[in-house]
Amino acid sequence: MGPWNENEQVDYTSSPSLRGEKRAMIPAVILADIVLVGILILTVILLVTMLTSLFLFVPYVPTPKAVVEFMLERANLSGNQTVYDLGCGDARLLIAAKKRCPSIRAIGYELPLGIWLLAKIKVFLSRKNITVRLGNYLHGDLHDADVIFLYLVPEVMGKLVKKLEKELKPGTRIISHGFELPGRSPKSVERCSLPSWHLFRPKGKVGPRVFVYEW
């Protein structure tokens, strides 16, 4: 062995053990990058969803299961009817409708991106043939509707009524949870009993109102 040369460079990467460690680190780095990108995408989706809900008056408030069943009972679904849920949330009502009457054509509209994605995932997991459209239902075509479900804030109901008056065919049924359509007389108004309702509302009110309209 000759004398040590301090200027001599040693190639540590030529060591088999070091090369093995380097190869082992690559999957971990790729996984970390994927996780980081995933977090970034979810953050953007959440931000867009929150801003959409805030500025366009489309808050996400899931309909209780008992109310879903109550609304479906009053919809009288049958045959190959075309059924819409305007502001369908996580699509729970449309999924329940398809389970009750598989032959219907079910279509939902949802505007906030995050909620739309949630609805698409739940529909996929349910394995039901349901269309969930990302967009504003005020810009959609409702001429073929036989039944329409609503759970919308009063601020948008006035605009919706004008659209419905132009597009709906005679006999179309509208089932609205919680809020009435301004200027229209409902065929019936009932309250759906909820055990926890007394915690949030005045005594004597057993549950939220459900309005049934017929064009």
pLDDT at 42: 56
Note the pLDDT tens digit of each residue in 8-33: 555 545 556 655 565 666 666 666 66
pLDDT (mean) for 141-161: 93
Do residues 187 and 214 lie in contact, with contact meaning Cβ atoms separated by under 8 Å?
yes
67 has pLDDT over 70: yes
5 has pLDDT over 60: no
Average pLDDT, the chain: 82
First to last CA, the chain: 100
Percent of all residues in the chain with a pLDDT value above 70, rounded to a whole number: 68
Amino acid at the residue 117: L
Across the chain, the runs of DSSP E, i.e. the strands, are 82-86, 105-110, 130-134, 147-150, 173-177, 188-191, 209-214
